[in-house]
Amino acid sequence: MLENRDMKTVLIWTLRVAVGVLVLVALLAWGVQQWLASADVRSRVTQDASEMLGVQVNLTRIELQFWPQPALQVHELTLHTQPSMTLQQLALRPAWGQLLRGQIRLASVNVQGLVLNQRALDKLISLQKKKLLLQSEKGQEAKNVDENLNLPERIELGGVEWLDSQGKSTRLAGRLLFSPSGELDATSVNVLSGQFEGAQVQVQRSGPRWT
C-alpha cells in the first residue's frame, strides 16, 4: 500500500513538472513570437538587408511556425529593384542535431511564391560588383563568401516564376539537396508553365559523376 501511495505521489509530481515545463515553453514561445512581430525587429532586419543588397527591402511580418516543424517564417518580402522582385514566404528550419552540438546550420529553406526578373537581377549583380570595387578602392577587404556561406541541407522551391529579358514567364518547382560540406548532391526541377512546360530534370551526384 505504501509503495502504491509513493508511486502515485511521484507520478503526480512528474505530471506537475511536465505541465510546468510545457507552460514555460509556451510562454517563452509566445514571448519570442511577440518580439519577432514587433516593428523594431522588422525595421532592423529590413535595414540590414537593404544595406547589404544596396536596394530597399520591405517585408510584412516575421513569425515562428510550430507545426508541423518549428521554423522561422518571413512573409511578403519585396526587393525594390527596377522592376521589383517579390517573395511570398520564406521558411527557415534549423538542423536541431547540429544546433545542440553548438553548430548553426539550416536543415531546410522553403521558398514559396518567388518572382525573379532577369533585368532586375542583372542590375542587382552589377550593383554588387560596383560595391565590391568601391570597397577595394577604399582599401576595405571584401568578405570571403565561401568561408561564411553555410548552405542548408535542403532548399525547396515552390511556385517560382522567372521573367526573362523579354518578360516571358516560366514557372517551376524544385528541390536542391546539399552535402554536409556544402556541395550540391542532387537536384530536381519541374517546369509548371512556360516554353518548356511539363519538362522534368533530375540530377544526382554519384561519387565524382552526375547521373
Q: Where are the beta strands (DSSP E) in 35-183?
A: 57-58, 61-65, 71-79, 85-94, 106-117, 154-163, 169-178
pLDDT at 89: 92
d(CA 92, CA 99): 14
* Residues facing 73 on adjacent strands: 63, 91
Residue 141, number of CB atoms within 10 A of its CB = 7
Question: In this prediction, what percent of the chain has a pLDDT beyond 70?
Answer: 73
pLDDT at 148: 44
Torsion of CA 133, 139, 145, 148, to 10 degrees: -150
CB 63 within 8 A of CB 75: yes
Q: Which residue has the cell 510584412?
A: 60
Mean residue pLDDT of the chain comes to 78
pLDDT at 169: 92
> HSE-up of 193 (CA within 13 Å, CB side)?
9
Report which DSSP code applies to 67.
Answer: S
List the one residue out of 80, 105, 75 whose CA is nearest residue 90.
75
**Has residue 201 got a pLDDT over 50?**
yes
**Has residue 152 got a pLDDT over 70?**
yes
pLDDT at 13: 58
Length of the chain measured in residues: 211
**Has residue 209 got a pLDDT over 80?**
no
Query: Model confidence over 158-193: pLDDT tens digits?
Result: 988 898 888 889 999 989 898 877 788 998 989 999
pTM exceeding the 0.85 threshold for the entire prediction: no
Residue 62 class from Cβ within 10 Å (0-12 exposed, 13-18 middle, 19+ buried)?
buried
Query: Model confidence over 88-140: pLDDT tens digits?
Result: 998 888 887 766 676 667 888 899 999 988 888 888 888 888 877 877 777 65
CB 176 within 8 A of CB 184: yes
C-alpha cell at 59: 517585408
pLDDT at 88: 94
Query: Model confidence over 42-86: pLDDT tens digits?
Result: 888 888 888 888 889 999 988 888 777 788 888 999 999 888 989
d(CA 149, CA 142): 14
